[in-house]
Amino acid sequence: MNFSTKKIGLFITLICSFFVLNAQDFGRADSLRGFLFPERNCFDVTYYHLSLKVDPQEKFIKGFTDIHFDALTDFDVLQIDLFENLKINRIEFEDQNLSYTREYNAVFISFNRKVFKGENTSIKVYYEGNPRVAVHAPWDGGFSWEKDKNGTDWIGVSCQGLGASSWWPNKDHQSDEPDSMLISCQVPGGLQCIANGNLRFHDMRKSTMYYNTYHWFVSNPINNYDVSLNIGDYTHFSDVYVSGQDTLDLDYYVLRYNEEKAREQFQEVKPMLECYEKFFGPYPFWEDGYALVETPYLGMEHQSAIAYGNNYLPGYKGNTNFIAGLDFDYIIVHETGHEWWGNSITANDISDMWIQETFCTYSEVLFVECMYGYDTMIKYVENQMRMIRNDKPIVGIPHVHRKGSSSDMYHKGSAVLHTIRNLIENDSLWYDLMLSMTDHFKHQTIDGRDVLNYINEKSGYNLDELYEQYLYTANLPQFQYKIISKRGKNYLQYRWEANEKFDMPIKLRLKPNEWSWVYPSKEWQEEMLKLSYEDFEIATHLFLMDVKKLK
């Protein structure tokens, strides 16, 4: 593509975006949150040092973020993000204070000189305030200021979707991850702070009040919403997972009175990691270790410090119907799957959040197949299919921080991958595709189309019309059929009611004890049934579709 063609393509994209935005009633605040304007695109964050003091009594935080970045273009203004309710005290650059303006949750910083392309430099943003209190963590997140059974402060932070800028200054866009990060957290005496990565050291000092400062270092790229604090009266125990000649550190931080239950429940971790390693390759943050941290909310995939709040129960808060009657701890399995899908591989834009949730939910399917066998896996997928709502498309609206269907990006997305597996009908190829994809995109932020193109390339099939039906529209393809009798014989007539170009083949039971491929289209087709009407079967356990029998 030449330069002039690129410009035309960009112009068309912007025009289309304009009409989409107006149709959806999006405004300036949405664009500032979701779009990469030049003030955001001009720099690439390489390192954060987040340092803050947490005051549970006042529900107050105070500290700074040291933001190191590479200049991608010449500029003298850049945008970072911090929620309006948090006060900026000052912004330092080269020992001078910079001026800034605020618009909604965006902060535009004016530099006292031009920053030139190729420079690696930094700013330090000092701030304070009462951060947003979580309404229904982790879905409607923020700070969870709770007490444990002993009346001791127990605090957690969750901010996926809401944004990390709800509690610390940063470039709050999923496309930009630092290469590494230091998290320094000061808490009152008697409390511990557990964050991501490895504990480098912790300070114990005395003034008018006893307090501790914990310094946690993340040596791998990390997306902003994965950064978290867990504060409470924790006890710690550890284990190791052995893979070949290497060992992975396993660390568990739980409330003191739950240690016995945790030691029993967390025995599930090593068999699970073995299954995931088989399908997706080695744990992607080996240097930072694997941790589960007990939280006052259900769970969240916080990188290398997974939030766990399932109360040491099987299933989803004790509901095993959610996992087809099986007995594993859903939160451990699902949130760990995110270490590959969501943390190592992250969507550039929240509109493609389906990448993370779809593949992570499908990782449950492969875990079940690994632990319980193929037939149980089929029942697990059928159970996922029963939870599909078809309320809106799985893919959201780009550049305005809008994801797709909050429910269907999980179970429907997983069923779509299951469908593709059965279309390919080559499990060796399918397993290799999963394994190679996690390596190919490891530690990257990517677009949804990157994933779809990769599946096309590796499978050898052009599945674009399938993607259009399942991901970009809300409705399932409907397999319509009727059975008629002619001259004493039964015939099946069938067609697709779906998008114009949708033509996915499926399997039907047309003969005793045998599945047959058929190729429905928008036009009626006919097959003779060589079995009784009662024995006719549609492979709804292999392919996601709506089925309607017509008279």
SS3 of 536, please?
coil
What pLDDT score was predicted for residue 24? Answer: 61
Burial (Cβ within 10 Å: 0-12, 13-18, ≥19) of residue 280: buried
Selection from 76, 30, 69 nearest residue 169 by Cα: 69
**What are the residue boundaries of the structural domains of the chain, listed by start?**
1-34, 340-471, 478-549
Q: Whose CA is closest to 458, among 425, 434, 423, 422?
A: 434
294-329: b or e for each residue (b if 16 or more CB lie within 10 Å)?
Answer: bbbbbbbbbbbbbbbbbebebbbeeeeebbbebebb
Q: How many CB atoms lie within 10 A of CB 235?
A: 15
Residues in the chain: 551
pLDDT score for 22: 43
According to DSSP H, which parts of 373-509 are helical? 374-385, 411-424, 427-440, 448-459, 464-471
Q: Across 442-512, where does the E strand assignment appear?
A: 444-446, 478-486, 489-497, 506-511
CATH code for the structural domain at 340-471: 1.10.390.10
Q: Give the pair of three-digit tokens for residue 48.
A: 């954060």
Please tell me the predicted confidence (pLDDT) of residue 202. Answer: 85
How far apart are the C-alpha atoms of 161 and 141, rounded to whole Å?
Answer: 8
Lookup: tokens for 260: 């016995």
215 and 183 in contact (C-beta within 8 Å)?
yes
Distance CA 551, CA 549 (A): 7
First to last CA, the chain: 53
Bridge partners, 108 (sequence order):
79, 101
CA distance 412 to 473: 12
If phi > 0 it is left, if psi is from -120 to 50 it is alpha, else beta; for residue 388 that is: beta
Does the CA dihedral 212-217-223-224 come out positive or negative? positive
How many angstroms from the chain centroid is the CA of residue 49?
24
What averages of pLDDT result for each successive group of 10 residues across the chain (551 residues)? 36 40 74 97 98 98 98 98 98 98 98 98 98 97 98 98 98 98 96 97 64 95 98 98 96 98 98 98 98 98 98 98 98 98 98 98 98 98 98 97 97 98 98 98 98 98 98 98 90 96 96 95 95 91 98 87
Please tell me the predicted confidence (pLDDT) of residue 181.
98
Residues 400, 21 contacting (CB under 8 angstroms)? yes
Alpha-carbon span 123 to 118, nearest angstrom: 16
Number of other CB atoms surrounding residue 7 within 10 Å: 10
Select from 85, 94, 165 the least CA-distant residue to 129: 85
Chain centroid, CA 260 distance in Å: 31
Q: Cα separations (Å) of 507 from 386, 485, 488, 515?
A: 20, 22, 25, 6
Tokens representing 414 are 């997983």
**In one letter, which amino acid is 51?**
S
What pLDDT was estimated at residue 533? 80
Contact 517, 424 (CB under 8 A): no
Strand, helix or coil for residue 122: strand
* pLDDT on residue 542: 98
